[in-house]
Structure formats: structure tokens, C-alpha cells
Amino acid sequence: MTSSVTDESVFAYGTLLFPEIVEALIGRVPTMKEATLSGYRRCYIDDPKRVAKGPAITPEQGSSVLGKVLVGLNARELRILDFYESNAKGYEIAHETVTFSDGSGSASVKVYVADETLRLSLSKDGWSEADFAAKHLNYYLSERIPKMKIDFPAVFAE
């Protein structure tokens, strides 16, 4: 069974798993449904030029990534999330099918995937949500996102 989730939904597997980051970006926390994306591996970006070691996903047969689908996003919210991911550089948009953990089926959703250049900077190690929270979450909330809002006000406009 395919869910009614549509392209207004985004599969979050990294920083967007944190409700406080989503709220800082779009001003609310949408419904988040746990889901699995098959055929990808999540790892952290091992690039010394990046302040925070955020995650990226890359295709890998036999692997899967547990994440959450952000449901019911409007055009403004999608624009902000697209900018947030593209501003980080190295991500491209794909549409993939995820399977919901609650057994309610599957859906095609938007997902941000590492591009070929970013793949060169990916660690062989997995990305840790707990490690990110302890070391980098405050930076995103107190510096990165506020700076984006100051530098690019049109992106965040109503």
C-alpha cells in the first residue's frame, strides 16, 4: 500500500531529525513519521573545511537508513529546506521510496543525497545522532541557522 505522503514530504536522516533544527528553519515542527530508505548508507562528512560533521547518504546496495519523513510541508517550507541543504554544498535532490516503520506502507519522498564531489569526503564510519547532538547541535541553533536567516532573508520570507 502506498501512503498519501507526497512530494510535499522530505526524508530526514541527519540534522533534520532534530525537531529544534526544523523549527528554527521553518517555524514549526511538522508531523514526522519514522521510515526506512533502502539502498543507501549514512555516514558523516569528513571534511576539515566544515565546522560541523553533518551526515550525507550515498547509494550502497544492501544498506538502509532509518529516518523520518517530514509530512505536509508547504512551498515556503520546502524552499527553506532545499536552500538549507543546498547551502551546505554537495547535496542533490532525489525522489526515492521509503517504507514506513508503522506498517502503513510506502511513499515517494524528496531526499537530499550526496553528489559525486561530496562522496569523496564521506567517512567509512556511520554518522551518530547522539554525537552530533553533543558536539554540533548548539552550533547549528546558535550560529549556523541564525546566520543563514540574516544572510539570505528572501529565502525565509513568508
* Positions marked active-site: 85
- Widest CA span of the chain, in angstroms? 44
Q: What does the alpha-carbon distance between residue 33 and residue 68 come to, in Å, rounded to a whole number?
A: 5
27 torsion bin: left (phi>0), alpha (psi -120 to 50), beta (else): left
Q: What does the alpha-carbon distance between residue 112 and residue 45 come to, in Å, rounded to a whole number?
A: 14
Beta bridge partners of 65: 37
